[in-house]
Chain A
């Protein structure tokens, strides 16, 4: 059974048109992460939530925002996607941030 679910699997958006990616979890984990992964590169941490506490990485562009309305769901909002934002976006959860994470299958974002 899928424990971290990302929707959609594939998303095509227009240059400059806001887009939202979603992640849900059935694990009741406290921590949820968003990563950006470009082709042949390591995942780059954008931000994470510990419960309701939002933690932004210093080099995450302002164009990227996140919401976590409850324990189960977390959203990644890209306010004005550029061509450089085309990537795989990975969501992950962890019980408390010190133990292993569980990943979703990712959403591949294409910007046209």
Chain B
């Protein structure tokens, strides 16, 4: 069975600072996608960023970027210039939408 580990149950960061959320996973696949999803207190899950495993270049979406280490099966999310609206649960989902336990991120003013 696929395993996903998010080792930080909760994190907090000051507004405008940078924070990194970690995720490690296990898979037997060689080509796959990895995702970070965000679930704000309103509860609708939305995609933050996607990484294709066969691409060496790390994905970037505005203030969000990933550090993908395929050999280490590590897929961390970096949020730069944190905003209050970034407060949410963040879930790592390496392929087939099996989620990690999540990291609760709070951005403080």
Segment from B13-21, B65-73, B76-84, B96-104 that makes contact with A: B96-104
B interface, size bucket: 10 to 19
B81-109 with Cβ < 8 A to chain A = 91, 95-102
Q: How far is the CA of A15 from the CA of B47 in the complex (A)?
A: 35
* A-chain residues with CB within 8 Å of residue B44 when the two chains form the complex: 103-106
Given contact pairs A43-B45, A90-B45, A100 touches B101 in the complex (Cβ within 8 A): no
Main secondary structure, interface of B, reads: loop
Could you give, for residues 21-61 of chain A, a 1 whenever the CB lies within 8 Å of some chain B CB and a 0 otherwise? 00000000000010000000111010000000000000000
User: Counting CB contacts under 8 A, is A98 at the interface?
Assistant: yes
Given contact pairs A103-B44, A105-B43, A98 touches B91 in the complex (Cβ within 8 A): no
Q: How far is the CA of A88 from the CA of B43 in the complex (A)?
A: 9
Given contact pairs A42-B91, A43-B45, A105-B43, A100 touches B100 in the complex (Cβ within 8 A): no
Given contact pairs A42-B91, A98-B33, A103 touches B99 in the complex (Cβ within 8 A): no
B31-79 with Cβ < 8 A to chain A = 32-33, 35, 42-47, 50
- A94→B97 contact, CB < 8 A: yes
Look across to chain B and name the residue whose beta carbon is closest to the beta carbon of A106: B43
| Chain B interface (Cβ < 8 Å from any Cβ of A) | 32-33, 35, 42-47, 50, 91, 95-102
| Chain A interface (Cβ < 8 Å from any Cβ of B) | 33, 41-43, 45, 88, 90, 92, 94, 97-106
